[in-house]
Structure 1
């Protein structure tokens, strides 16, 4: 918000969810003031995630804010959502992470609101890469004049950072390869995941890393998406409890997306699940830096201080069936349907 208040020329924002309320009202006021100072303000919202924001968006437009909807509802393209959360100010400051615009994000995640995470960057090359990525998403938002095949994401890198821009089944291989490489080599791994539905390969990498050193996973004790919560329970039941430390965050919904593998830190909008790796449009920033990884582990330590050790208990047959079915839906059926739709669109 402070960066928007100081904006001099442009403000570009991209969210999956915009929900009218206190936080949206404060952001609306800050954006309107930016327009009053002569700034160009663009807001890109996902049609599905922000489906109830129509009246609020009309007010935003009256204030001079240019709003575009990503992927208006069409059955053939309904699966492909813009899950990115990004703010770029004056093409000099950028913020990305997991936070949407809704009142559940208006708090510290302990006393009030959900627990989430984002990162600010002023590294010029990284900010420009994010700004260009926004421009590209803005141009293809209607899904009319650009085929899905042209949404091939970009990957940009600097000395100690790499930006992964993926979506609609494209551009995820580089992200997966990099993540798998880091997990395969690391001896200290931390995963904070709102929706923990890793692939079989990633589970194997985590298990082998735990034998080399330490693996810590923190998930929400209460889930906001029941299907994902049940699928995660199925995965967690299969993890070796003597090797992998698993905790549940207790105070509120944990919506953060963070992976630390030795000195490599991944932060952004992608969940630890197949949809983020294969279907959604997402952003992840990888930073390799001992100081930043130490700071990130401090955040994980603080999150763990509000968590309890995970106990899977002994679910009955119906609960196990529900968990297996949820896992199959998210790990296999959802990607399969998306692949079929991509073939129809190609």
Structure 2
């Protein structure tokens, strides 16, 4: 990939390595989703949750057949951006997220815009949402032209532009029905608090020891925390994840077109989305998320990556590569500076395309 098409660094969006954990905006979103509940459940309550929760099926079957795209003759005539923005005189758009519904009062809702790259489920009845490709009435190129991703005014339709694979819509509904985000967040909070208690106890008894010695002592506790969080995500159906692309501003339109077309044709995952312009951000790059149903289904994760490589959007020799992040990790805002030192990405394109075993929690899971 030439220098002009090289992906920019994703610092701040994804990293190798927060409290309800996360920024104030993320915490606010979580509280709204979980309801006004007193303190989170204790570990004993979490153990009961684990015993009572039905573990969802992790491995997906063969890809479903994909219906053909609507012919161009049936599509709407192309609309310019200002025409599509006129749709926003309607009442606020309801976006159904994992475990709850998020109200967007247009793109001015900064909490929704910045809250989470894990919000992969824009209103399933998306014929009412101008930010979603209307597969029944327009072809994919009409959608791309209707809402140019590079145009700052496009953010009037919301923080994301969405393309769903019509052939996976039924499975998407089934997967979302199994997800219990409230239980995941409550259980994850309890696990993190327990780890903080263990860490404080170890540090208090090793005050005269070198930091390297303390870090070594904490390693098995940290690994168990990661393993427990992954198990909790699986048990609560919080298994969505995404490959994250950070094209440079000049390459954003091309990258989005390739990803959108491939999704519409049934070649990628259930849904992809591109961030619209955020006037409050000082980052020049925008993120494009390419979702899969289940981060434990490494065969499907690899299949989607191979398709992205075929499109020329990543490769084993890329200097930076792209990374795969679980939505569960996004909900907990695990970044490079998180106090738990939990690695934020599950897979890297360079390692996976070379056939290398991932390190960290996913490596342990696959070896086990």
Relative to the length of structure 2, the TM-score reads 0.26
- TM-score, normalised via structure 1 length: 0.27
Larger-Rg structure: 2
Q: Whose relative contact order is higher, 1 or 2, with alpha carbons under 8 Å and at least 6 apart?
A: 2
